[in-house]
Amino acid sequence: MKQNLAHIAVVVRDYDEAIEYYTNTLGFQLIEDTILSETKRWVMVRPTGAENGCTLLLAKAATPEQEKYIGYQTGGRVFLFLYTDNFYRDYENYTAKGVEFTIAPHVEDYGTVAVFKDIYGNLWDLIEPTTK
């Protein structure tokens, strides 16, 4: 049996705002932006260099109930884990672009890590894994 995660849905306020942030601030690639109806699009982004990895599906909140969870999908816990091959390159780039880090860079057994908020308040770990 072979399985893998294909997409993770991130509830967003606006498609174009989300695309702008994830591509220009975080440097992700826009993989697809397909109009499905007057109010719904299929929008996928992924980190640059992650050719076969899981993508983020940017899903616009469609109801007031969904809007309540924008930026709070995991109840305030770290939601997503972004691995990098050069922690300080990405940390400095993100900081220069105004990304807010809530936990400063530090070294753990598993690698160098810091926590940042995305445009909606979702918490991310930026991690350069320790090579063993």
* Alpha carbons 97 and 94: distance in angstroms, whole number: 5
The predicted model scores a pTM of: 0.93
The answer on 55 and 97 residing in a single domain is: no
Whether the predicted pLDDT of 53 surpasses 90: no
The domain tally of the chain equals: 2
* Alpha carbons 54 and 47: distance in angstroms, whole number: 9
Return the percentage of the chain with pLDDT > 70, whole number: 99
pLDDT tens profile 32-50: 999 999 999 999 999 998 8
Whether the predicted pLDDT of 132 surpasses 70: no
Q: What is the mean pLDDT of residues 101-109?
A: 97
pLDDT tens profile 3-18: 989 999 999 999 999 9
The answer on 117 and 65 residing in a single domain is: no
The answer on 114 and 83 residing in a single domain is: yes
Q: The domain spanning residue 15 has which CATH number?
A: 3.10.180.10
